[in-house]
Amino acid sequence: MKLFSTVAVALLGFAVPAHANESVSFLLNWVAGGDHAPYYYAQKMGWYKDAGIDLTLLQGKGSMVAAQAAGAGANTFGLADMTTILVAIGKGADEVAVMNVYANYPGGFYWLKSSGIKSIKDLAGKRIGNPPGDAARALWPALAKANGIDPNSVTWVNVGPGAKLAALKAGSVDAVTEFYNEHHTYKQQLGGDMGYLAWKDAGLNPYGNSIAVNGAFLKAHRDTVAAFVKVTQKAFGACVAAADPCIHALIEANSGLQFDSQMVNWHEVEELMSDKTSQTVALGWFDPQRMEQTYDLVKTYVGLEKPFQVTNVYTNAFLDKSVKMKSVPSTE
């Protein structure tokens, strides 16, 4: 696959200004996996250290925890779904999104073709497995409306994140929601009987995982935040150009992970990262119109305790426009 030449140029001549050594923490959205490889690669290469950043990477327990931690200042940075970040800000969290990772919403439906389900309209009257409190339930009415379905026509069944695939195979649910970076697992387990629909292809595509920084920290340490974003964007560009070293860095730092499965995970993540904006403007860039759409979606269907101006809670100021994403063919 051919990379945009600008990625190569950026990686050859990327300069990060030096700052006084400063300790910062970064809470991931979940346990380490292929989607987190660039952070571990940059850390292994000493890029954060060279930028004057003493970075501590922490395993996560979900987007809401990461968004709340960054918003409260318990951690400097948090990786979370953008819709979750907006909900947290509506509850008073003080944070600003500084880089987008998933330009495409990662959610999707999985089912067994043998069940007779062929499209989203066939989910009417069916049981959908999903963790209680998950954002997919809150966003479902918007997706249903976009497809002419009664939102109340499905039954949500409480199923934990690690039990969804087993529940689907056992027939205790008819479909489940899942993130696309687990696509390879479902494909391996279900084979030709796997049915799948990405929410982004069904009319709902808010921004996905994004990096947020504590607002007070940003005001007091703007140079440190700028350096962190530049290093992180550089790392993502490097991993897009050559993934092997990044996956090796990931598994060296996290015992129990397997190279082959995490490489597949990474390639799925590349699909989520790639859209017109990331390809033509910059990797990690927030498109203002899509941010407004994401905000309106959350306000209408999830709810915000206290509405706010979305333009105040994200910035592209620290991103290098010379680092761009490539066009990635689907692994489907």
Q: Read off the CATH number of the domain in which 164 is found.
A: 3.40.190.10
Report yes or no: 43 and 57 within 8 Å, Cβ to Cβ.
yes
Pair 182, 210 in one domain = no
Pair 75, 148 in one domain = no
Structure tokens that stand for 31 in this block: 């346990």
291-307: average pLDDT: 94
15 in a domain, yes or no? yes
Structure tokens that stand for 153 in this block: 């026509």
- What's the whole-number average pLDDT of the chain? 92
Distance (Å, whole) CA 105 – CA 200: 6
Buried b (16+ CB within 10 A) or exposed e, 5-33: ebbeebbeebebeebeebebbbbbbbebb
321 in a domain, yes or no? no
**Residue 19: pLDDT band by 50, 70, 90 thresholds?**
low
Query: Tens digit of pLDDT for each residue in 157-180?
Result: 999 888 999 999 999 999 999 989
Report yes or no: 27 and 66 within 8 Å, Cβ to Cβ.
yes
Distance (Å, whole) CA 318 – CA 229: 6
Query: Tens digit of pLDDT for each residue in 84-127?
Result: 999 999 999 999 999 999 999 999 999 999 999 999 999 999 99
**Residue 132: pLDDT band by 50, 70, 90 thresholds?**
confident
Report yes or no: 135 and 106 within 8 Å, Cβ to Cβ.
no
Report yes or no: 324 and 279 within 8 Å, Cβ to Cβ.
yes
In this predicted model, which residue has the larger pLDDT, 132 or 317? 317
Is 80 exceeded by the pLDDT of residue 3?
A: no
pTM: 0.89
pLDDT of residue 18: 45
129 in a domain, yes or no? yes
**Which domain, by its residues, includes 249?**
5-104+206-312
Pair 27, 171 in one domain = no
15-37: average pLDDT: 83
- Residues of the chain with pLDDT > 70: what percent? 93
Which of 107, 89, 316 has its CA nearest to residue 205?
A: 107
Pair 295, 243 in one domain = yes
Q: Among 145, 176, 202, give the residue marking a domain's end.
A: 202
Number of domains in the chain: 2
Q: Among 202, 223, 244, give the residue marking a domain's end.
A: 202
163 in a domain, yes or no? yes
Query: Tens digit of pLDDT for each residue in 41-85?
Result: 999 999 999 999 999 999 998 899 999 999 999 999 999 999 999
181-208: average pLDDT: 94
